[in-house]
């Protein structure tokens, strides 16, 4: 191993990166843009659900109930209907995804039977939003229902002393239940996986494609020297991209950062070694730039997006899929990032994730080094 | 390394790609300070042989020793002793001239103190002084090839392999390139060079003629031209050429006939007997002969004669 040769390769690689505007763009602009796009586009909070109201009762009581729907952030009244067809029409058009229909004898039934019902119609083509909307609607009706119970008891001189349990939730780590705070650390992992593997996936393939590899491997340079020399500049870029991503998360999106920057950086470097080795391995195997960058995207973007727990919780996945996620480096990194950002978890509590990431790093570095041959066959 | 010691020893070297035999049981020896030429059409195994000797391909069987080291067993040890210039231009086009030189100086572990001196030497040798900051992609082919040679010999290797270094280079640049090769050889470097230019073959001390992976002939250019012709050579200049060639190829006493430039070269067992025969044969078929005489064979004639059993297409390739 000669440091001079490693330095010579790194310097050459830097010159090539600097002279290629496309790779500069990928390095500097793409992480920031991706973070912004994902940060804003992936929003799992359901608020301002468009609501259609059809009040067939038209009494003070029915209006009181509907005021509760108006008063909350969860719904936005998009339309007032005066017939059923109109309700159906508005749901069909997507003008509103929830419709509340108050039946004609609503207040009458309440008074005489002590029992009345309200109809809710939900557009369940987006089942997730529909069930959340249903939950909101249920809660509002429930609240109103207990209000009128209390009123009824008070009117009859009964003390409001009926036993009841009050529910006092305290959400830790993400106090406002902002999905942004939960997602942005995942986006950081996604950006780093894609940029890291994508950039390095080209480095060896490009040399084969342009014919420069034949000259390079005819020299006494060792394959480990090539690997270290080539990956080092991308490692530095990756570290800089981590800073861009984490900085954007904290100062732009206001994601709380409670952990230690040292832990964040240590783990990010480990993750970088993983994705860079993956990209290098792909590059050695593919031998064409197009094939290599497609494989790199396929190996990083989709699994990181779908299986890392970044959007979809791993413990909700079928058990077989859960096993598959065990070999996915991004899964551990996302978990570490969330812990470091939101919980400020101490490093010894992250040991499991770090160990898993380190194991994957060792395996990938081994395969990346082994796969490269200083021969033309 | 003393003068008597062979720089490269090849014995029974065979290289197969699947069922295809690219190099078939080749044996030769090259000595210090020799220009060793590989001559042959495309696909004859020249490049494959050189790549095996550089440790870029693993031989299927046989022995190849470069600078006393077995290439199959220890390719890495060979690489410090050799310089290699591949057939396809393989320097970094997006680097500047001096950056390429400095990079390869680094790859060959030239000591840092010596790098500026070596780079300056290579620039001077390649005639690229004043262009050290030009992007490599902006150089003309001839200059690129000289730069590639410069990069390959920065570490002053005792053995240099050049795979078609002058293909696509204009005649003046080709001449300059050969001047560089001669200068290296004078310093005791062994140079292996593949070419399909016959005039370049005359510059070599020793030649190996390859065809379909086999050695067809080997020796000095003079050896080859004097020993390897199967008969005597006649130059026939006549009009029209096409029918005349056909007649000569079918004539009983003509061993071989092929078009060379504006005339026909015919190989015959005895020139004195053949000249009158050919005169009468052609004139009865209304071919006008402007000149017919015995000439000294060139390497090209030797090559065509040695591969005479092959089809006419392959000859065209060689003479191209």
Overall average pLDDT of the B49-69 stretch: 94
pLDDT of residue A291: 92
Helical H runs in chain A?
A: 3-18, 21-28, 30-41, 60-71, 84-93, 106-113, 127-155, 179-210, 212-217, 223-247, 261-286, 289-307, 319-325, 329-338, 351-371
Residues A12 and A55 in one domain: no
pLDDT of residue B221: 87
pLDDT over threshold 60, residue B237: yes
**B66 vs A47, A160, A222, CA distance in Å?**
76, 102, 19
pLDDT in tens, A45-93: 678 889 999 999 989 989 988 999 988 888 988 888 989 899 999 888 8
In this structure, is residue A207 part of a structural domain?
yes
Overall average pLDDT of the A363-368 stretch: 94
In this structure, is residue A229 part of a structural domain?
yes
**Nearest Cβ partner of A2 from B90, B93, B109?**
B109
pLDDT over threshold 70, residue B61: yes
State the pLDDT confidence band at B318, using cuts at 50, 70 and 90.
Answer: very low
Residues A126 and A191 in one domain: no
pLDDT of residue B118: 94
How many residues does the structure list for chain A?
Answer: 377
pLDDT of residue A363: 96
Output DSSP code: residue A342: I
In this structure, is residue A78 part of a structural domain?
yes
State the pLDDT confidence band at A282, using cuts at 50, 70 and 90.
Answer: very high
Residues A253 and A302 in one domain: yes
Residues A146 and A274 in one domain: no
Give me the long-range contacts of B176-179 (CB less than 8 A, separation at least 24).
B176/B127, B176/B142, B176/B146, B177/B142, B177/B145, B177/B146, B177/B149, B178/B203
Residues A350 and A309 in one domain: yes
Residues A223 and A269 in one domain: yes
pLDDT in tens, A95-154: 898 999 999 988 888 888 888 899 999 988 888 778 888 888 998 998 888 888 888 888
Overall average pLDDT of the A246-271 stretch: 89
Residues A184 and A240 in one domain: yes
Q: How far apart are CA A219 and CA A210, in angstroms?
A: 17
Contact of B236 with B292, CB cutoff 8 Å: yes
pLDDT of residue B3: 45
pLDDT of residue B311: 45
Residues A53 and A38 in one domain: no
In this structure, is residue A170 part of a structural domain?
no
pLDDT over threshold 80, residue B269: yes
pLDDT of residue B310: 47
pLDDT over threshold 80, residue B230: no
Q: Which residue of A has its CA nearest to B151?
A: A215
Q: How far apart are CA B13 and CA A371, in angstroms?
A: 27
Cβ contact B86–A214 (<8 Å): yes
pLDDT of residue B79: 92
In this structure, is residue A377 part of a structural domain?
no
pLDDT of residue B317: 43
pLDDT in tens, B241-264: 888 998 888 888 888 888 888 889
Q: Percentage of residues in chain A with pLDDT exceeding 90?
A: 38
**B233 vs A74, A123, B129, B179, CA distance in Å?**
102, 96, 48, 32
In this structure, is residue A164 part of a structural domain?
no
In this structure, is residue A167 part of a structural domain?
no
Q: Which residue of B has its CA nearest to A14?
A: B95
pLDDT over threshold 50, residue A213: yes
Residue ranges of domains in chain B, CATH in brackets: 6-221 (3.40.50.300), 230-296 (3.30.70.100)
**B19 vs A332, B15, B16, B60, CA distance in Å?**
48, 10, 7, 12
Q: What is the CATH number of the domain that holds A91?
A: 3.40.1710.10
Residues A215 and A358 in one domain: yes
Give chain B's contact residues with A (Cβ, < 8 Å): 51, 54-58, 75-76, 79-80, 82, 84-86, 88-95, 99, 102-109, 112, 148, 151-152
Residues A14 and A62 in one domain: no
Overall average pLDDT of the A169-191 stretch: 76
Min Cα–Cα distance to chain A from B84, Å: 7
pLDDT of residue B2: 44
Output DSSP code: residue A50: E
Contact of A185 with A250, CB cutoff 8 Å: no
ipTM for the complex shown: 0.83
Overall average pLDDT of the A314-323 stretch: 90
Overall average pLDDT of the A315-344 stretch: 91
- Run of H or E including A77: strand A75-80
In this structure, is residue A233 part of a structural domain?
yes
**A305 vs A91, A128, B71, CA distance in Å?**
31, 18, 48
Residues A263 and A328 in one domain: yes
DSSP letters spanning A222-269: -HHHHHHHHHHHHHHHHHHHHHHHHHIIIIIS-----S-HHHHHHHHH
Overall average pLDDT of the B176-197 stretch: 91
Q: Which residue of B has its CA nearest to A1?
A: B109
Pick the residue of A206, A220, A228, A372 with the most B CBs within 10 A to test the interface with B by mutation.
A220
State the pLDDT confidence band at B161, using cuts at 50, 70 and 90.
Answer: very high
Domain count, chain A: 2
Beta bridge partners of A98: A51, A122
Residues A249 and A353 in one domain: yes
Q: How far is CA B57 from the centre of its chain?
A: 20
Overall average pLDDT of the A350-361 stretch: 94
Rounded CA Rg of chain B: 22
Which residues constitute the domain of residue A293? 3-42+178-371
**B46 vs A30, A364, B37, B175, B202, CA distance in Å?**
47, 38, 10, 22, 17
State the pLDDT confidence band at B106, using cuts at 50, 70 and 90.
Answer: very high
pLDDT over threshold 80, residue A368: yes
Contact of A27 with A237, CB cutoff 8 Å: yes
pLDDT over threshold 70, residue B316: no
């Amino acid at each position: 191993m000669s440091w001079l040769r490693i330095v010579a390769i790194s310097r050459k690689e830097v010159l090539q990166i600097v002279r290629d505007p496309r790779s500069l763009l990928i390095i500097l602009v793409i992480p920031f843009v991706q973070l912004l796009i994902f940060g804003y586009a992936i929003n799992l909070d359901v608020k301002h659900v468009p609501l259609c109201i059809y009040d067939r009762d038209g009494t003070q009581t029915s209006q009181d109930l509907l005021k509760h729907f108006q008063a909350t952030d969860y719904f936005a009244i998009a339309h007032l209907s005066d017939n059923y067809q109109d309700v159906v029409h508005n749901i069909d058009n997507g003008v509103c995804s929830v419709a509340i229909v108050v039946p004609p004898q609503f207040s009458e039934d309440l008074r005489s039977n002590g029992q009345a019902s309200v109809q809710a119609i939900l557009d369940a083509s987006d089942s997730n939003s529909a069930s959340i909307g249903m939950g909101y609607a249920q809660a509002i009706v429930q609240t109103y229902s207990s209000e009128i119970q209390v009123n009824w008891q008070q009117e009859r001189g009964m003390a409001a002393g009926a036993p009841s349990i009050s529910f006092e939730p305290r959400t830790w780590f993400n106090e406002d239940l902002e999905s942004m705070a939960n997602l942005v650390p995942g986006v950081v992992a996604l950006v780093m996986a894609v940029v890291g593997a994508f950039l390095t996936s080209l480095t060896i393939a490009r040399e084969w494609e342009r014919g420069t590899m034949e000259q390079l491997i005819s020299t006494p340079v060792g394959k480990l020297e090539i690997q270290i020399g080539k990956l080092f500049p991308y490692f530095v870029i990756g570290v800089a991209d981590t800073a861009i991503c984490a900085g954007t998360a904290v100062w732009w999106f206001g994601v709380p950062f409670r952990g230690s920057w040292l832990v964040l950086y240590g783990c990010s470097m480990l993750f970088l070694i993983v994705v860079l080795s993956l990209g290098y391995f792909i590059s050695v195997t593919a031998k064409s730039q197009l094939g290599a960058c497609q494989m790199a995207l396929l190996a990083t973007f989709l699994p990181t997006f779908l299986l890392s727990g970044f959007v979809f919780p791993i413990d909700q996945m079928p058990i077989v899929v859960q096993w598959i996620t065990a070999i996915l480096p991004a899964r551990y990194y996302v978990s570490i990032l969330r812990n470091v950002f939101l919980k400020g978890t101490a490093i010894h509590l992250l040991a499991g994730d770090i160990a898993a990431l380190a194991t994957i790093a060792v395996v990938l570095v081994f395969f990346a080094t082994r796969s490269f041959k200083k021969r033309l066959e | 390394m003393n003068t008597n010691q062979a720089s490269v020893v090849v014995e029974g070297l065979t290289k197969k790609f699947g069922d295809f035999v690219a190099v078939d049981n080749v044996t030769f020896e090259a000595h210090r300070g020799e220009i060793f030429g590989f001559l042959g059409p495309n696909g004859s195994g020249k490049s494959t042989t050189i790549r095996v000797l550089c440790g870029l391909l693993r031989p299927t069987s046989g022995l190849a020793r470069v600078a006393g080291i077995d290439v199959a067993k220890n390719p890495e040890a060979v690489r410090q002793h050799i310089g290699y210039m591949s057939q396809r231009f393989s320097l970094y086009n997006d680097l500047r001239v001096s950056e390429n030189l400095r990079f390869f100086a680094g790859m060959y572990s030239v000591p840092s103190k010596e790098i500026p001196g070596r780079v300056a030497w290579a620039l001077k040798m390649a005639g690229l002084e004043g262009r050290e900051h030009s992007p490599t992609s902006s150089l003309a082919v001839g200059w690129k090839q000289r730069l590639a040679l410069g990069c390959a010999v920065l570490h002053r290797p005792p053995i240099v392999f050049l795979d078609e270094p002058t293909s696509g280079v204009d005649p003046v640049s080709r001449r300059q390139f050969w001047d560089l090769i001669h200068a290296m050889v004078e310093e005791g470097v062994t140079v292996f060079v593949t070419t399909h230019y016959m005039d370049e073959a005359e510059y070599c001390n020793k030649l190996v003629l390859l065809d379909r992976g086999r050695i067809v002939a080997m020796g000095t250019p003079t050896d080859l031209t004097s020993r390897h012709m199967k008969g005597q050579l006649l130059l026939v200049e006549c009009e029209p050429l096409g029918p005349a060639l056909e007649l000569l190829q079918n004539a009983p006493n003509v061993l071989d006939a092929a078009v060379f430039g504006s005339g026909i070269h015919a190989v015959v067992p005895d020139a004195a007997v053949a000249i009158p025969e050919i005169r009468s044969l052609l004139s009865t078929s209304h071919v006008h002969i402007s000149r017919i005489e015995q000439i000294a064979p060139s390497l090209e004639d030797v090559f065509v004669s040695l591969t005479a059993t092959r089809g006419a297409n392959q000859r065209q390739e060689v003479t191209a």
